[in-house]
Each structure stands twice: as C-alpha cells, then as structure tokens.
Amino acid sequence: MKLEERVYKKLLEVPKGKVTTYGDLAKAVGLKNGQRAIGRMMNKNPYPVIVPCHRVIMSSGRVGGYAWGEEIKTNMLEREGVRIRNGRLANPDLIHRF
C-alpha cells in the first residue's frame, strides 16, 4: 500500500467532532518528523469528501492551511462541533491520539 493510501486510511479513524495533528498522523503511519509531508498530502487529497483532511491541524492548536482556505476549514470543523477561537482549537481535549 502506498504511503498516501496508508495516511488517508489512518485519517479515516479520526471521528467527526475531533481533530488530529500533522505530527501525530505522521507518527501513526511511521513517518518520523513527517508533518510537512503530511501537510503536502492533505493539500493534494484527491478524496476530500471521503477523507476528512480538514480534521488535521497544527500541533500548536492553530487550524493551519487548507486547499480551499482557512476560513472554509474553520467552518467545516465548527459544523462538526469543533470550536475554533482566533484561528486555534478552543478545546485541546478534542485532539484524537492514535
């Protein structure tokens, strides 16, 4: 299985209403210091309706980038019950750990 497929499959484990970090997702698929690689994969996600790349945030709690813009990512997260305040995750308890 290709790395991208492993990453997308792992990301499917993050439930609605939760988020994970680029770094945690990288570690979960065996990529040491792979957060940038994960960011690139999320940006090129060919299945955005199926693979919830909007649920991946920065380890600092910042929402981070999104192919269609940070505002759309924030809106998608808030519709799932994830509160964002000033561009940051309002409740760190919502971070899904693998």
pLDDT of 67 reads: 85
Q: Which residues contact 48 (CB under 8 A, 6 or more apart)?
A: 54, 67
Active site residue 52: no
pLDDT of 85 reads: 97
pLDDT of 1 reads: 83
pLDDT of 12 reads: 97
Q: Give per-residue pLDDT as tens, 13-22.
A: 999 999 999 9
Segment holding 21, helix H or strand E: strand 20-21
Q: What is the CATH number of the domain that holds 14?
A: 1.10.10.10
Q: Give per-residue pLDDT as tens, 31-89.
A: 999 999 999 999 999 988 899 999 999 999 999 989 889 999 999 999 999 999 999 99
Domain with 75 in it: 3-94
Q: Nearest to residue 47, comparing CAs of 80, 1, 2, 9?
A: 9
Put simply, whether the predicted model's pTM sits higher than 0.85 gets the answer: yes
Q: Nearest to residue 7, comparing CAs of 17, 18, 35, 16?
A: 35
> Which tokens is 81 given?
């019950």
pLDDT of 97 reads: 94
Q: Which of 7, 11, 14, 53 is catalytic?
A: 53
* Number of compact structural domains in the chain: 1
